[in-house]
Amino acid sequence: DVAEKGGYPDFMLKEIHEQPRVIRDTLAGRLSAGSLVIDELDMTAEELNLVDRVYVIACGTSYHAGLIAKNLIESWARIPCEVEVASEFRYRNPIITPTTLVVAVSQSGETADTLAAIRDARVKGAKVFGITNVVGSPVARESDGVIYTKANKEIAVASTKSFLGQVVSLTLLAMLLGQSQGELTGGQVKLLFSELADTAEQVERILAECTDSVDEAAEAMVDAASALFIGRGMGAATSYEGALKMKEISYLHAEAYAAGEMKHGPIALIDEGFPVVAIATNSAVYDKVVSNLQESRARGACIIAVATEGDEDIKKHADHVIYVPKVRDAFSPITASVPLQLLSRAVAVKRGCDVDQPRNLAKSVTVE
């Protein structure tokens, strides 16, 4: 057991630490002579150019990778993209035409709802592209094309390295769509790719440097009954996954909100010491996030902020700061998710929970 965990106390921590490798392996061989290589998609440049609607369908953590992808696809390819949980998608009548691309994201490749949604979408004439971690899995077999996330076997029930692999794969797909729609130039793709590749080293650095600040933040929220995770834009998508991870393994109730919605309800929850975890990395909406932090703090919240290195100002607005390296906003979910994974694990350990095997949860859900 100890050997399998590679010297780590649990699989989750081991898998969190594998993420730089996952990023590198997922990107290996994907850029050649300035062009993206995603042959598995099995669509011609012309077919890709005709895509006019994208649905990302998934469950759980994979759904959150989809929320991140929506932002990237809409911003780089200017194609409308909807993200939907597979259990909803399969029971409605979504608008699918031959120029619709459905992207099914599933770590295990065998989630019953996701598979049913794939089958349904294909019957309706969509091209279905799978993103999965398991070679030869049903999602891989039943999709028109598949990208493997190269996370290798994930043992901890709560997904970490697979999530990062999904985000990186979806980022590549968004870049490909951007290029095929004529929205991104070859030069832009090359630059994005090289910055994306840099995140491997940046995640390595986060893993080496943020242990103390994560531990301090975990200590501040360990006895809380509930917590809010907030952010805007990419930060909102990241906060959803942060809250899910916290619930899954520490049983601390956590809810994520787009920070601008605080005033429409969640702010009523805040009293002295209520933990608010905020994604406050550099972005066009940074100032807006800061004003949401101020509003929360004025009501007694204990603020834990994930912020960009060099941002000293944030210390005025937060009780605890966890710094991550500066990246473009598009890649902030990759870096900001890592301390949130570590934070949920640290809280779970302090609360005496079994981080690898949370109660009531299964690694894959093959029944409806």
Q: Of the two residues 207 and 249, which places its CB atom closer to ligand G6P in the complex?
A: 249
CA 86 vs. chain centroid, Å, equals 17
Binding of ligand G6P at residue 62 (CB under 6 A)?
yes
Q: Annotated catalytic residue: which of 5, 190, 350, 363? A: 363
Binding of ligand G6P at residue 157 (CB under 6 A)?
yes
Whole-angstrom distance, CA of residue 204 vs CA of residue 21: 9
Site string for ligand G6P, 5-44 (x = CB under 6 A): ----------------------------------------
Binding of ligand G6P at residue 363 (CB under 6 A)?
yes
Phi, psi at 331, each rounded to 5°: -105, 5
Among 159, 179, 202, 335, binds ligand G6P (CB under 6 A): 159
Binding of ligand G6P at residue 180 (CB under 6 A)?
no
Q: What is the DSSP string of 134-149?
A: STT-HHHHHSSEEEE-
CB of 164 to ligand G6P, least distance (A): 13
Q: Of the two residues 19 and 106, which places its CB atom closer to ligand G6P in the complex?
A: 106
Instruction: Check if the beta carbon of residue 134 is closer than 8 Å to that of residue 107.
Output: yes
CA dihedral (317, 318, 321, 327) positive or negative: negative
363 annotated active-site:
yes
- 291-320 residues near ligand G6P, rule: CB under 6 A: none
166-184: string of b/e by CB count within 10 Å (b at 16+)?
A: bbbbbbbbbbbbbbbbeeb
Specify which residues 132 forms β-bridges with: 106, 148
Whole-angstrom distance, CA of residue 8 vs CA of residue 171: 30
Binding of ligand G6P at residue 114 (CB under 6 A)?
yes
Q: Of the two residues 147 and 314, which places its CB atom closer to ligand G6P in the complex?
A: 147
Whole-angstrom distance, CA of residue 232 vs CA of residue 240: 11
CB of 151 to ligand G6P, least distance (A): 11
Among 100, 108, 181, 337, binds ligand G6P (CB under 6 A): 108
Binding of ligand G6P at residue 143 (CB under 6 A)?
no
Burial of 312 (0-12, 13-18, 19+ CB in 10 A): exposed
Specify which residues 256 forms β-bridges with: 229
User: Which amino acid type is present at position 312?
Assistant: E
CB of 159 to ligand G6P, least distance (A): 4
Cβ-based neighbour number of residue 51 at 10 Å: 19
Instruction: Give the three-class secondary structure for 183.
Output: coil
Q: Of the two residues 111 and 202, which places its CB atom closer to ligand G6P in the complex?
A: 111
CB of 107 to ligand G6P, least distance (A): 4
Contacts with ligand G6P by CB under 6 A: the residue count is 16
Among the listed ranges 102-110, 191-199, 228-236, 279-287, the one in contact with ligand G6P (CB under 6 A) is 102-110
Binding of ligand G6P at residue 61 (CB under 6 A)?
yes
The one-character DSSP state at 33 is: T
Catalytic residues: 363
Judged by the rule CB under 6 A, the positions of this chain that interact with ligand G6P are 59-62, 106-108, 111, 114, 157-159, 361, 363-365
